[in-house]
């Protein structure tokens, strides 16, 4: 049986284990964070090719590269396997501005977006927001799960949000010192489409409870209380998701789509997407996912 290393121990791990086992793939959790990791024993090592033996042995492929890149480099070296989504795929998707730029160059619809690289004077921010209408969305360039995303209703509130970002970016250890100013699409419907090996594989609509919306909340992130309901997207949305994955060159991708006033745009992508319940995807979702994993493993032989 093929052995697949998975560095997430959350929902995705629990959901994919049995379906992939039925298709000849054993999914094993490899803890990459919140632990100690042996980097070197000071000698030639005690495993194959001089590497320490043990928990990282016997794998054929990895699912997606660890989210923390520093720990990921050690885990990657220990496993010595190809990844369905490797480090480059994760980095490509994590860079929100880079994704928007690549998709815009490919002629795909995206929200109007400007990237700001700190430190800059207030005059630069003022000039950057001039083409937009308020409110605008302000978001860190490489955060996930809606962390740090806010709206600004005027220039003063925008500069206030930027002040907080400046405090964070002032720390020298901060890697990404950029953020995005983006047009706000009110009352947009929020979809996460899955693409597996270049083909649409299903989608969910993410929606906050009515009382949350009435309270003024607008970020439809599942990790912030939104519910994900399986939906049957129209052809134009399916094609947009597939073209997004093709433009970025990522085999396994979550594509976040926003639909408002007849517009359909790609808002973000995720190369480490959470897998939802199988009933929310196409019937052959796991067959195609298993085939992609097997092909990835074969490429590393």
Q: What is the largest CA-CA distance in the chain?
A: 64
Tokens of 143: 């955060």
- How is residue 281 annotated by DSSP? B
pLDDT (0 to 100) of residue 142: 85
Q: Which domains does the chain have, with CATH numbers?
A: 2-85 (3.40.50), 112-183 (3.30.1490.20), 186-281 (3.30.470.20)
Q: What is the mean pLDDT of each run of 10 residues along the chain (301 residues)?
A: 90 94 97 88 52 78 94 94 97 96 98 94 96 94 74 94 82 75 92 96 85 60 70 96 98 96 96 92 96 94 71
3 CB neighbour count, 10 Å cutoff:
15
**pLDDT number for residue 208:** 74
pTM, rounded to two decimals: 0.89
Torsion sign, CA atoms 128, 133, 135, 137: negative
Q: How far apart are CA 248 and CA 257, in angstroms?
A: 15
pLDDT of residue 204: 94
pLDDT at 51: 47
Give pLDDT, residue 147: 63
Q: Report the 10 Å Cβ neighbour count for 8.
A: 21
Query: What is the reported pLDDT for 168?
Result: 75
Nearest CA-CA partner of 75 in 36, 117, 133, 48: 36
Taking the C-alpha atoms of residue 164 and residue 168, their distance in angstroms, rounded to an integer, is: 7
């Amino acid at each position: 049986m093929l052995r697949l290393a998975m560095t997430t121990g959350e929902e995705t791990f629990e959901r994919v284990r049995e379906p992939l086992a039925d298709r000849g793939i054993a999914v094993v959790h490899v803890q990459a964070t919140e632990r100690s990791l042996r980097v070197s024993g000071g000698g030639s090592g005690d495993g194959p090719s001089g590497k320490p033996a043990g928990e990282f042995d016997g794998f054929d492929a990895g699912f997606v590269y660890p989210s923390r890149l520093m720990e990921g480099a050690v885990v990657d070296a220990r496993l010595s396997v190809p990844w369905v989504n490797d480090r480059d795929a994760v980095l490509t998707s994590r860079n929100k501005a880079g994704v928007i730029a690549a998709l815009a160059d490919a002629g795909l619809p995206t929200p109007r977006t400007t990237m700001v690289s700190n430190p800059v004077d207030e005059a630069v921010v003022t000039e950057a927001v001039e083409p937009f209408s308020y409110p605008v969305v302000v978001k860190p360039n490489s955060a996930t799960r809606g962390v740090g995303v806010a709206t600004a209703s005027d220039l003063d509130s925008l500069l206030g949000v930027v002040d907080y970002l400046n405090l964070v970016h002032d720390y020298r250890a901060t890697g990404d010192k950029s953020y995005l100013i983006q047009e706000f699409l009110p009352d947009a419907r929020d979809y996460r489409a899955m693409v597996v090996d270049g083909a649409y594989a299903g989608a969910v609509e993410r929606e906050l409870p009515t009382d949350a919306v009435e309270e003024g909340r607008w970020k439809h992130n599942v990790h912030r209380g939104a519910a994900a309901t399986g939906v049957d997207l129209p052809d134009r949305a399916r094609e947009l998701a597939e073209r997004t994955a093709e433009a970025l060159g990522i085999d396994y991708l979550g594509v976040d789509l926003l639909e408002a006033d007849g517009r359909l745009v790609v808002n973000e992508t995720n190369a480490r997407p959470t897998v939802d319940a199988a009933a929310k995807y196409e019937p052959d979702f796991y067959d195609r996912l298993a085939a992609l994993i097997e092909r990835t493993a074969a490429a590393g032989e």
